[in-house]
Each structure stands twice: as C-alpha cells, then as structure tokens.
A and B are shown apart, each in its own frame.
Chain A
Amino acid sequence: MTPNDLKYAFGETPQRVKNCVARSLRAQERSRTIMKKKLSISLIAAALAALLLIGAALAVSQTGLLASWLGVYNAKTGEIDPDGSLAGAIQYLDRSVEGSALRCVVTEALYDPDGGTYSLAWRYEPLFEGDTLYVVCSSPTFGGEFTDTIMGMNDCECLLTGPVGCSTFGHLPENGGTLAAMTFSVYRVKGEIEHKNVDDFAKPGMTDEEINMAFETWFRSIVAEGRLNMEGDGVLTPIWWDKEAGGSFEETLVRAGLLERVEELALEVDIGAMSLPVEKVMAGPAEFTFENGDSIRVNSLSVTPMIAKIEAEYITSQPQRFDDAEHGLCIFVRSPHETQSYGCNTAFDEPVQEEDGRLHAICHIQASPMRDTPDALELKIVRYEGGEQELIGTAVIELADKED
C-alpha cells in the first residue's frame, strides 16, 4: 500500500451528510438561522433543566410558552417561581395575521437590551380541521438585519395538523431596532405523512451507519411512492434537491406534487415595550489564584435573566494550549445552587507570553438562559488533556445590582 491508497479508508459520503449540506443551503437561501438537526449538548442540558424545573409539557397554551420553554425559577432558593424576574418581564401580546389556511399569532416577547438578547413565542393555528400544513418561517429581522439565534423550537420549519407553539431566543440586532418582522410561507401537504425516526431502524448489532442506511433506503422508497416523513419534532426529513435545476427545497417538493403552495403571510411586532428589569454586575474586583499557581482575573461580568457575559484573563505558568481539541481549559458557569448549571460557550483569544514567561489569555464566556439573576456565580475551571481531566479550581463571584 502507498499513501495514495489512503482514499480507500473512506467510504461513499452518506446521504445524511449531503442532507446536512442541503439544510444549510436552504437555511441560507431563506436568509434565516439554521435549524440544527441536533441541538448542542449544552443547550439540550439547559433546555432539559428548564423543563424539569417547570415540570410542564411544551404543549400549546394561550400564554406561558416562553416561561415553560426558558424556565422560571428563583436563583436564591433554586425553586420554581412563576413571578421571578424573567417571568415578570414577559410581554403578553396578541399580534396576528390570518390567511386562507393558517392563523399565526405572536403571543409573547422578552426584550433584554442590557444582555443584547430577545425571545419571541408564536403559535400556528390551522383554520381547517384535517389540513396538514408545512410552514417555513424566516427568522425575525429587525430593520432588515438578521441576527444569530441561540436556540429555538419549531422556529424554522414545522409540519402541523393542529395548533403548534414556536419560540426563538437570539441576539438583538446591532442597529438597535425593536420591530421584529417575520414571514411565514405556508404549504399544504399533498402526500401521506409517515412518522419515523432513524432510531426506529436500529436493531441489535447494527452500526450507526447501517442504521442510517436502513433509514435512507426506507425513506427513498416512500418518497418514490409520494409520501413524506416527519421526524419527531415537526421537521420534514430533507430530500436532496438539484440546485442546478433552480428553486428552493420547498419548490422542489411542490414540483414533485408533494406540497402545494398556499400563501405567504407576514407580520411585524414591536418587542421593545418592556425591558427586562434586572441586571447584575460583579460586586468588586475578582481575582483568584489556584493551588497550581494558575490565576483568573475577571474583568467584567454582567448578568440579566437571559444571559451572563463574562470577560476574564487567565494566567498560567504551565506551557499549555488553551482550547485545542486534545488539550485545554473548560470553564463552566454554575449558580451556587447545585441544581443549576447553564449552557455556556467559552472562547480564548490567542495567548500572549508575559515578561516573566507566563502565558496570558483573554477569555470570553457566555451562559444562557439564566432565568434569574443570582447573587453569585461560580466558575469551575477544568483542564483536559487527552481523556484526562483535572479540576484546577472554582471561583465564586459575588454579584450586586447594577447602579445607573
């Protein structure tokens, strides 16, 4: 064997990977945020914590969808608090648009200018019983500006036979706008709908790829028979479409006779009528030195009930990489209550070597959704190397109300 034979180490690119490329192209085509097939593990953990806290199903209700989805609890007691700072700031709205087949109504909004985030909840209500609709929603724009989504539920596309609740949690635009514009493309499903997930094809002893292939084989066969498949959460299993032929994914399905275009609905809603009331900041300078000599200096920390933003400097005499795949540091954000940890992102700037030889790196941490503003936050710093992890230390930072 020569190195040129290495290509034989790989098989054919699976259809599911091509579908992923298709999903991203579709998302960009509609200039909206991607519906990730799989939420990041940290976000699932955060959403799960919210669900456990509230103890309620994500069913459609007239109000309270954001509270259910993001979770409301009191950071001082760790208990559910329907009147907590996040719940208290939810604006209940009734902004709707009705077409010939569907009514869309925006029911709730959260506006967090201090944290630079917002959240919206809306509901789809089919007007005719027995109708199966496929709704594609463009993510909200503000004065024409698209923003990044942190997490969402049914926020991009949704297959529905009855009322369905949707929500999104994202960053506010840089232009300072508060008027959110949304559009909804409504299609009627012509073909029969199957309801299978890839896991339904798993049998003992099968590899992931064999399971995926079994699913794909089945899926191709039902599409050839004019049927579609809905995977668990209201998302259509994507069909790879020929972009050379022009048109979007939905138009391909329309041409194939699987969907019928019904209408395009649009509405605007001002989310800025009420701001989240509480923001906390560090009570004082925060610098911590750990047993191994490493230290962390927290330069800024702000917390709203939606998001915590932390900028810190990490200084170490260890010759190490900060966030490589195999070596690096993880910083977890936790509340003093052990039940609460947050989905968080940590990013390190390129480290700089100081005159004394120590490495110095700025790190940026975001944790969300916070659901309340605690009196303290705990940073847990862990070094990983290969499969090994080592706790370096924890730093508890006291918080105080921000003074205007």
Chain B
Amino acid sequence: MTKEEFERRLIDMQDTMYRVASTILNRSCDREDAIQECVYRALRKRASLKSDDAMRGWVIRILINECYAILRRAKRECLSDELPEAQPRPDPGANEDVFRALFSLGRDLRLPLVLHYVEGYSVEEIARVLRVPAGTVKSRMNRARKKLKLELEEEANG
C-alpha cells in the first residue's frame, strides 16, 4: 500500500475511530487526543503493518491502547485531585434512548457490540483487536444484548 493510500484509508476510518473512542472515553478532548495520537502512531509504525487487509483491525487496536492510556492517566490525576469522571453525553444528532441504553453497559460489553453491529467487524476480528478468545467476544456480546434488551424494556415501561 502506498503512503497516499494508507493516509486515505486513515481518513476514511475517522468516523469509525470517533465512534470507538466515544465508546471508551467520555470527554470529547480525550477522544480527540486519542485519535490524534492513534493516527500519528499508525503513520509512524506503518512499516510494521503485516498486510493491507489487517489495517482496520491494526488501527483500532492502536486506538484502543491510546484510549486506555488516557484512562490510566486520568486515574492517576484522580488520585491527587479526586475529580469525578466525566459523564458521557450524546452527540448532537444521536438518539438519546439508544445512547443511554448503550452507555448503561460497561466498556467491556459495549465495545464488542459497537465494533460488530456499528462497524461491521467479525467476531474473529474483534477477538484479535481486543486480544481475547473468540468465545469471550461471543459471550460478552450475548451478555450485552441481554442487558441492552432489559435496559430498553425498562425504558419503554417508564
């Protein structure tokens, strides 16, 4: 893949990167930092990408690592400042009910759900990205679907 093609594919992935970062991070400035750092690292490490087909999983793995690094830094800050974690807020244009239901799940559950149903990643791809067995991805998605259903039913019942 040429450098120009690689850059074009990164630009094509910016919506996916934003949704994945939003799934993990609550603050918009943190999402921006994670995406900026992810793109920068991907460009610097382009030579280590083993095949073109692996790019989308590879980039999202870098992004998830960046998001977790930001969360860890935030934890360290909280130790001294005791700042409460920012609450996630829906983006303009988002469906608030769906947003609330999704974000009622823990990160471990909502991330595979978003990668599969929103971004179209296969279970095997998600397993590679999250570095967990495919069976774990399936069971997390199963639990997530059940919780999501419950959450939406509760909302519908007021």
Contact = CB atoms under 8 A, between A and B. Distances in A.
Which 4 A-B residue pairs are closest in the complex by CB-CB distance? A11-B91, A11-B93, A24-B39, A20-B36
A389 B75 CA distance: 9
A326 B29 CA distance: 20
A330 B36 contact: no
A22 to B, nearest CB: 9
A41 B28 contact: no
B32 A5 contact: no
Contact of B68 (A11, A13, A14, A325): A325
A116 B31 CA distance: 31
B75 A208 contact: no
B33 interface: yes
B50 interface: no
Interface in B100-158: 101-103, 107, 113-114, 116-118, 145, 148, 152
Nearest to B88: A9
Contacts of A25: 7, 10-11, 39, 43
Nearest to B24: A325
B49 interface: no
A34 interface: yes
Given A16-B32, A20-B36, A24-B43, A3 B11 contact: no
Interface string A165-205: 00000000000000000000000000000000000000000
Contacts of B17: 17, 21
Interface in A1-40: 1, 3-14, 16-18, 20-21, 23-25, 27-28, 34, 36-38, 40
Interface stretch (A102-110, A209-217, A221-229): A209-217
B22 A38 contact: no
A17 B38 CA distance: 12
Contacts of A27: 40
Interface residues of A, number: 49
B32 A17 contact: yes
A192 B43 CA distance: 34
Interface in B42-95: 43-44, 67-68, 71-79, 85, 89-95
B11 A42 contact: no
B40 A387 contact: no
B133 to A, nearest CB: 16
A126 B10 CA distance: 37
Interface in B10-26: 10-11, 14-15, 17-19, 22, 24
B145 A3 contact: yes
B10 to A, nearest CB: 7
A326 B152 contact: no
A325 B93 CA distance: 29
B90 A18 contact: no
Nearest to B93: A11
Nearest to A25: B7
